[in-house]
Structure 1
Amino acid sequence: MTLAPTLAITGSTGHLGGMVARQLADAGSPQRLLVRDLSRAPELDLAVPAVVTYADPVLAKAALAGVQTLFMVSAAEAEDRLQQHYAFVDAAAAAGVRHIVYTSFFGAAADSTFTLGRDHFATEEHIRASGMDFTFLRDNFYLDFLPLLAGEDGVIRGPAGDGVMAAVARADVARSAVAVLRDPALHIGRSYNLTGPDDISLATAAELLTAGTGRTITFHNETLEEAYASRASYGAPPWQVDAWVSTYTAIAAGELAGPTSAVHELTGREPLGLAEFLAESHTL
C-alpha cells in the first residue's frame, strides 16, 4: 500500500462519503477508498480501493499504511458504534496517520440531549487524545432527512415543540469536507459547525415541504409518552428509540439552533435552505 494515495476516504459507498469521493475525483485528487466490500467501491479516476472495517484493527491498520490524511465518516448507527470508532481511531494512530477529518454532530457534548451526540463527542475526545492532528465537521440535522420524517399520512410526529434547527444539506457538508481535504493543513485543530442559512421549526418545515413537494405535510407535537408509544411498533432496541426521540427533544431544547457562516467560509458559497434544497432535488 506504500504507493497508494495518501488521502483515504471512508463511506464512499454511502451518500456523504460518495459525494466527497466523486468531487475529489473530479478535482483530480488521488484517494484511497476504504470500503467493506471491494465490489461496491465506486470506480473513480485516481481512486484505489482497500478493504476495511472499523471494528477490525488489524485490517484497518494494514489498509491505512502510508495514509497521511483520513476522512472518517461516522459509522452506521449501532449499539457498539462508539467502540468501533475507538478501534478505528487507534488503528489509524498505529498506522501513522497524521490527520483525521471526522464527521461529528452539531453541538456534540458529553451531555447532549441527542443521545448519539454524546458518542460523537466521545469520539472527538478519543481523536484529540490520539496525538493525531484533527478537524471536526459538526453537521447539523440533514435537510435531506426532513421529507422522510412524515408518515404515510403526511404527519411529522415528535416532541420538538416550537424549537428550531439550522438544518444543513448533505451536499453542503460534502463540499465543505472536500475544501478541507484538498488543503488539510489549513484546518488543523479546527471544528466547523456546518449549518443551513436559517433556523426553522418543524412546523415551518412542514409548510415548506408542502409547498415544495405538492404533498400536504403537517407537524404534530407529541408528548414524550406519545413519542415512545408511536415508535414501539417498530420493534427497535431501546438505545435506538432513545436516539430517534432525542432528535426531537434536542430541537425542543434549542441545541440545534444557530446558523453559522462555516459553509460559506469553507466553500465560498451560501448553504442551501430547505426551499432551495427541495427545488434542486428533483426527486420528490
Structure 2
Amino acid sequence: MPQPWDRPQAGGTPDWAALADTADRNRRRKWLLIGGGALATAAVAAIVATAVVLSDKGDKNLPAAEKLPSASAGTPEPTFSKAVTPPPNPREFISSQEKDTAPLTVKTLFPHSKPSLDKRVYKRAAQDTATDCASVAQGGLGQVLADNGCRQVLRSTYVRDGVAVTVGVAVFDTKAAADKAKEQSTGNIAPLTGDDAASFCQGTACRLSANAEGRYAYFTIAGFTNGSAVTPDDTKALQAGRDVAGYTFRRIMARANAQAAAAASPKPSGKPSAKPSDSAKNKA
C-alpha cells in the first residue's frame, strides 16, 4: 500500500502534515496494543489471585479438627459389664463353727449305702455318732481329741472283698484345732463292727491313716473281716483304707461346696438351710 511519503505532492515536496498524522496514529495503535495486553495480564492475575484467596477462605471455614466427627460416629459405644463378685471360697465354710451351719449327722455326711469308690463298690455295714470323742478312740487318740476340743465323732464302716474299713470324723470348732489333732495323732479310731464286719481289727495289726480338712480331722482303720492280721506287704487293706479316706474327703468338700453355693445365691426367707448335695445312689 503506498505510503503518504510515496505519493508526490504538487511541486515535488512531501506532505509533512500527512506524515506526522500517520506517525501519530501508529504510536497510538502501539500503546493501545501494549495497554490491552497489560490489562489482559492483570485480569488473569486478578482471577488467579481471587481463586487463591477464595481457596484460602474456604480452608479457613473448615471445622477445626476437634470438631470433626470421629470415625466411629454412628456406631454404638462398647459396653462393659459390672465387676463380678467372685464366689466365696468353699473351704471358708468348713473352717469354723460359725460358718459351717448346715445340718451335720452321720447320715448327711455319709448318705450312700453302696458307694462306688474309683469303680470299686463298697457296702456300708454300720454307722454311729459319739459326743464323747475319747470313747471311740484307742491308744492315746482319745486324749488327743479331747485336748483339742473335739465335739463329736461320726463313724461309718464299709466292707469289700473280705476287708472292712471304719472311718471316724472328729468335729472341732476351728480348722486350727483339727490340724493340731491330726499332727498329734497317735493310736487309732476304734473299729465299728457290724453284721458283715463282726471281728476285724480286734487286737490285730491293721492299716491306719490320719487326715484333716477344714474343722474336721478324720481317721481310718482297715483290716480283714475274718480277724486276720494285716501284713506289711498287704495291698488290699491299704487300697480299701485309701478309698474310704478319699470318699470322706469328697463328702466333706461336698458339704463345703453346698454351703458356698447357697451363700452365693441365697434362698428366700422361710426356706430350710441348704444341705450338702447328695450324689446319685452308688456314686461317691
Same fold (TM over 0.5): no
Larger Rg: 2
**Higher percent of residues as helix:** 1
TM-score by length of 2: 0.20
TM-score by length of 1: 0.20
